[in-house]
Amino acid sequence: MKLPGNMQSMMKQAQQMQAKLQEEIAQIRVEASAGGGMVTVKMDGHKNCLGVKIDPEVAGDVEMLQDMVLAAVNEASKKVDQEAQTKMGGMLGGMGLPPGLF
């Protein structure tokens, strides 16, 4: 099925914007900490954990350490979502779409 010229152009533009958005999301880097900085997690835009830093002081209490790592990872994940949403909102704003559509 062949789309009308204007529609075809819009689809091509949407695909280009999606590819650009994926590239920008891949570049996201966030850092989150828990326990007053005793555990720090670094994460990329695809929510891959890039690093974990643990203060030796907390290493003896395994249960507390587990809780702090979990909290830091969850916070980093939220930050990735916020960054991605910001990038998506900025990019889609140029398309003239109604607010709340994406």
Q: Which residue has the higher pLDDT, 100 or 38?
A: 38
- Write out pLDDT tens, residues 84-94: 998 887 766 65
pLDDT reported for residue 89 = 79
pLDDT reported for residue 91 = 66
When pLDDT is cut at 50, 70 and 90, the band that residue 59 belongs to is confident
pLDDT of 102 strictly over 60: no
Indicate whether 94 belongs to any domain: no
Query: Long-range contacts of range 42-46, CB-CB < 8 Å, 24 or more positions apart?
Result: 42/76, 43/73, 43/76, 43/77, 43/79, 43/80, 44/80, 45/80, 45/83, 45/84
Indicate whether 38 belongs to any domain: yes
The token duo for 17 is 């914007």
pLDDT of 7 strictly over 90: no
| Structural domains in the chain (count) | 1
The CATH number of whichever domain residue 57 belongs to comes to 3.30.1310.10
Whole-number Å distance between alpha carbons of 38 and 53: 8
Indicate whether 79 belongs to any domain: yes
Range of the domain at 36: 26-87
Indicate whether 1 belongs to any domain: no
Indicate whether 74 belongs to any domain: yes
